[in-house]
Amino acid sequence: MEANIMRSLMGCTSFTPSVLIQKGAIIPRRCIRHLCLRTAVSAHGSSSDAAMVIDKQKVAVDILHEIRTEVSRMKESIGMVPGLAVLHVGDTKLSTPYWAACGFVGIRSFEVHLAEDTTEEKTLECVSSFNDDPCVHGILVELPLPTHMDEHKILNAVSIEKDIKGFHPLNIGLLAMRGREPFFLPQTPKACIELLHRNNIEIKGKRAVVIGRSNTFGMPAALLLQREDATVTIIHSKTKNPQDITRQADIIISAVGKPNMVRGSWIKPGAVIVDVGISFVRDRNAPGGFRWVGDICYEEACEVASAFITDVGGDGLLESDMLLSNTLTSAKRIHNFL
C-alpha cells in the first residue's frame, strides 16, 4: 500500500526499490532505501545476523499522513489551508510533481511554468506576486535556472517568511545563531535529522562528522547537528587524513558525490552512517550502462556500522515531505494557528 501511495504521489514508478535494483545499485537488498539497525557489534566491527530494517518509504508515508491530519485540522478550525507556489523556468522534465503530494495532504498548489527565454525581470515579478499573495505560504523556485539569470538574485527575492527551502541568507544566519530560531530548516538536512529522530538514534553528546561543506547541504547539516548538541567536525577537500577523523565519529553524514570514497576502514565499529551522496558510474553490466553509488562503500559499511541510512535525497520523497512540512509551518505562523 505504501509503495502505491508513493507512486501515485510522485507520479513515477521508478522510485520503487525493485527498479533501483535493476539500475544496478551495489548495496544489499536489505540496505536499499532502508535504515539498517544491527542489534550487536563486536569489538572487531563484525555484527550479528539480527537486524531491524526500517523502510524509508514508510517514514515518508507516515510524515505525509501527519501533515494531512494537521492541514485538515487547520481547515476545520480557521477555514484556511496552506498554499505552495512552485516556479519552473525552462525545461521541467526533471521537476518533481509536487501537485500530487499537495493534493494528497490537502495543500493548495500553484505552479507557474515560464519559457526558457523569459527575462530575469519577468521572473522576479512572478516571485514578487507570490510574496504578496496571502494564499501562498511557501515558495519554491526550481533549479537550475537558465544561464542568463542571476540565480542568487532570484532566490534572494523570495520572502524569508515563505522560503521553504530555508536557504535565504538571513535564515541560514538565524540557523547559525544560538538562541535564535530560523524560519525553516533546509529540506535535505532536515530529512536526515528526522530519520535519526524517528529511529531513536541519539545525537546529543555524540561526535558527528559531516563530509562536504556546500551551502545547500554540508554547512546546514553541520549547523543542525550542532543544534542537536552533537560535537561536529566538517571534512572538506583540503582536510588532511580524513579517515583519521571519521574513525572517531559516532555519526557520519556524507554528501560530496564521490563514489565509494568512504571505506569500511574509515568507520568506527557501531557508528551511524547517513549517505546523501549520489553518483552514477559506468557499468556495462547494468541497464543503461550506469549504476548508482553513494559516497560510502555500502558493502563494507554494512559490516561495520550499527545503523545505515542511504539514498536520503535520491528519490525526493522525504525532501518533498520536508517542503510540505515547511509550507504547513509557514501557514501556521502566518495565521497564528497552534
pLDDT at 63 over 90: yes
Q: At what angle do helices 98-105 and 317-334 cross, to 10 degrees?
A: 50
Band the pLDDT of 25: cuts 50, 70, 90: very low
Instruction: Indicate the average pLDDT of the chain.
Output: 85
pLDDT over 80 at 97, yes or no:
no
- Of 197-201, 228-232, 305-309, the one with minimum mean pLDDT is 305-309
> 119: phi > 0 → left, psi -120 to 50 → alpha, else beta; which?
beta
CA distance 314 to 279: 10
Alpha carbon distance 109, 111 (integer Å): 6
Q: How far apart are the first and last CA of the chain?
A: 31
What stretches of the chain adopt beta strand conformation (E)? 34-38, 51-55, 83-89, 108-114, 138-141, 207-211, 231-235, 251-254, 272-275, 279-282, 290-293, 307-310
Residue 224 burial (CB < 10 Å; 0-12/13-18/19+)? buried
Distance of alpha carbon 187 from alpha carbon 189, whole angstroms: 6
Question: The C-alpha cell of 176 is what?
Answer: 547559525
Mean pLDDT of 252-263: 95
Share of the chain above pLDDT 90, in %: 66
DSSP string, 73-93: HHHHHHS---EEEEEEES--T
DSSP structure class, residue 262: B
- Ordered by start, the domain boundaries in the chain are 22-57+186-317
Whole-model pTM: value is: 0.84
Question: Which pLDDT band holds residue 123 (cuts at 50, 70, 90)?
Answer: very high
**Taking 60 as the threshold, does the pLDDT of residue 115 lie above it?**
yes
Q: With a cut of 70, say whether residue 110 has pLDDT above it.
A: yes
Architecture of domain 22-57+186-317 in CATH? 3-Layer(aba) Sandwich (3.40)
158-188: per-residue pLDDT in tens? 999 999 999 999 999 999 999 999 999 999 9
